[in-house]
Chains A and B, each alone.
Chain A
Amino acid sequence: MPVIASRGLRKTFGKSVALESVDLQVEEGRILGLIGRNGSGKTTALSAMVGLIPYQGELKVLDRNPWTERDQLMRDVSFIADVALLPRWLQVSQALDYVAGVHPRFHRMRAEALLAKTAIRPDNKVMKLSKGMITQLHLALILAIDAKLLVLDEPTLGLDLSFRKQFYDSPLNDYWDHRRTVVVATHEVDEIEDILTDVAFLDRGRIVFGCSIEDIESRYWEVMVNPENVAAARALNPINERRSLGRSILLFEGVDRQQLSGVGDVRRPSVADLFGALTSSRAEASQGARI
């Protein structure tokens, strides 16, 4: 049974279409990066998964309907929908008391251990904390829940670089134990690339690309080509081409590496490169723009 299974998922807000025929299957133990630009539908997709908004089409999370069974689902799913949304009046110790009171899988000691590494004190009120500290508190609460699925929407948005890096290195890595499933939505691909097992690119409400990291590493190559070899390289059917510092950078899918090394320097594309190549080309093509 997949942890998340959607088929023809669609969501509209009035006349604007936020999600269109999203088919997604996330198996247990995967870390999926849902990558898209602002307004591409990431938040809408995640909101549907955790039962915050109604939708059309099929969507099952842990075999439950998120919209009608949110409260039962939340025993096994934890999520952060947005940064800095803990209520201002809440005291840190009250937050711990409350979550411990209502959540059967919350481990208070674990949350306290996470908080002990921060500057947050139990008698602090949320309104006295900085934005970064509020996120730290929220993460400590959420990561102390023994959930089967963790959903994070831009968890590091608006935070400083050192904290962002630290978050993906340490707490999230410790949380993940090969049985938990994590879905992270972000537009900052670089900072989470290393921890992902799968990526899905969302562009204008549609999933334009979905792949495991292993597959990306074995199937995609980026070649830096000098001007004299461009014609030869183009003959090998690149899926994308861009220019940088006087050289062309061509992206190939499923083309033999040996063959490619004849026309230029071959390297593995980063997820960010792939994202840029796969979404911008389609977006511009659909607008009829010149590449």
Chain B
Amino acid sequence: MTGFSSAFEAQEVASARLSPVRPLYWSVRRELWENRSLYVAPASAAVVFLLGFLISTIHLPATIRNLPALDPMHQHETIALPYDMAAGLLMLTAMVVGGFYCVDALQAERRDRSILFWKSLPVSDSTTVLAKAFIPLVFLPLLTFAIIFALQVCMLLTSSAVVSASGLNAATLWTQLSFFKMTLLLLYHLLTIHALWQAPVYGWLLLVSAWARRAAFLWAILPPFAIGAIERIVFGTSRFAHLLRLTGGGNEALTAPGTFPMDPVTHVTPGTFLVSPGLWIGLALTAIFLTLAIRLRHDRGPAN
């Protein structure tokens, strides 16, 4: 016990002040410790896709040989398709993972009563909720970008090797893809659509998670679904579904000729996007949802 007592006194002086960013930083790390699926799921999806792609490279030399027969538009599409699919798959994975994460984020700690431990530490409810919102709004888009980038680099390098090995010119791939521009467009798309445009969706899910005693998933899905269904039956329109930002939206961000926003001929219009009311209404809603979630986190104890 003597060692314990002396350490006890020696540290008496060390009551260093902590900057307000530190609790936020550690709260975000805490989220990543708890929710390993946030990065394991996208990484696994990338690996599975890469394996599938590697097998499909058997047909790649033939595709390249037949390429000149197609018109220029289709030439690009043929080469770019797997890359767009890779990006789409990873974005979808991130959205699913992010959605499930948010629905559980503020409910799990009440369900397992660990909220009593977290609340015994000097971390405010705002810090906790903002750390949780950071995950879908900042962490996931950036992680998705990094994984897609790494995946596409692997795809491009292996394809180049396969094409060169069959005596063809790998440069065709690079010029058709315009990889650098594709990457920039990908980042732009993730930040505008997945972070900013969809922010109110994640805000709503966090709010429901903070509010619902159980079955947060149903509470998150059913009311919007019911409103959408009633609108469809009564007015025959689907404006509400559109408002939910799950069906398209964010069209102010760019003018794309095709289905995929990473098409190199896509014309980005960040100015139009930034002044569009839809964006700002969405961000205001996000702020309201998160403020309410902070309030609920403060007021609510364990769920049983």
The 3 closest A-B pairs by CB, nearest first: A101-B26, A87-B114, A71-B124
- A98 in contact with B120 given A71-B125, A105-B15, A174-B5 (CB within 8 Å): no
Instruction: Tell me the complex Cα distance, A16–B29, Å.
Output: 41
Interface contact tally, CB-CB below 8 A = 105
Q: Residues of B contacting A170 with CB < 8 Å?
A: 1
Contact B123 A71 (CB under 8 A): yes
Contact A70 B26 (CB under 8 A): no
- A85 in contact with B7 given A102-B18, A102-B23 (CB within 8 Å): no
Query: Which chain A residue has the least Cβ–Cβ distance from B1?
Result: A174
- A113 in contact with B117 given A75-B122, A102-B23, A104-B15 (CB within 8 Å): no
The contact of B114 among A85, A101, A174, by CB within 8 Å, is A85
Smallest CB separation, B296 vs chain A (Å): 13
Q: Does A242 lie at the interface of the complex (its beta carbon under 8 Å from any beta carbon of B)?
A: no
Contact A52 B4 (CB under 8 A): no
Q: Does A53 lie at the interface of the complex (its beta carbon under 8 Å from any beta carbon of B)?
A: yes
Instruction: Tell me the complex Cα distance, A2–B245, Å.
Output: 55
Instruction: Tell me the complex Cα distance, A87–B104, Å.
Output: 14
Q: Does B34 lie at the interface of the complex (its beta carbon under 8 Å from any beta carbon of A)?
A: yes
Smallest CB separation, A274 vs chain B (Å): 31
The contact of A52 among B15, B16, B116, B121, by CB within 8 Å, is B116
- B-contacting residues of A (Cβ < 8 Å)? 47, 50-54, 70-75, 78-82, 85-91, 94, 97-99, 101-105, 107, 109-110, 113-114, 138, 142, 146, 170, 174
Q: Does B17 lie at the interface of the complex (its beta carbon under 8 Å from any beta carbon of A)?
A: yes
Contact A104 B33 (CB under 8 A): no
Smallest CB separation, B109 vs chain A (Å): 7
Q: Residues of A contacting B225 with CB < 8 Å?
A: none
Smallest CB separation, A98 vs chain B (Å): 6
Query: Which chain B residue has the least Cβ–Cβ distance from A52?
Result: B301
Residue in B23, B26, B29, B121 whose Cβ sees the most chain A Cβ within 10 Å: B121
Contact A102 B26 (CB under 8 A): yes
Contact B122 A72 (CB under 8 A): yes
Contact A89 B34 (CB under 8 A): yes
Instruction: Tell me the complex Cα distance, A90–B31, Å.
Output: 11
- A102 in contact with B22 given A71-B123, A87-B117 (CB within 8 Å): yes
Q: Does B14 lie at the interface of the complex (its beta carbon under 8 Å from any beta carbon of A)?
A: yes
- A109 in contact with B11 given A51-B119, A71-B125, A87-B109 (CB within 8 Å): yes
Q: Does B25 lie at the interface of the complex (its beta carbon under 8 Å from any beta carbon of A)?
A: yes
Interface bits B275-304 vs A (CB < 8 Å: 1, else 0) = 000000000000000000000001101000
Contact A74 B301 (CB under 8 A): no
A–B complex contacts, Cβ < 8 Å, 21 sampled: A50-B119, A52-B116, A52-B301, A71-B123, A71-B125, A74-B119, A74-B121, A79-B120, A82-B113, A86-B117, A87-B117, A89-B33, A98-B29, A98-B30, A101-B25, A102-B121, A103-B122, A105-B15, A107-B7, A107-B8, A114-B4
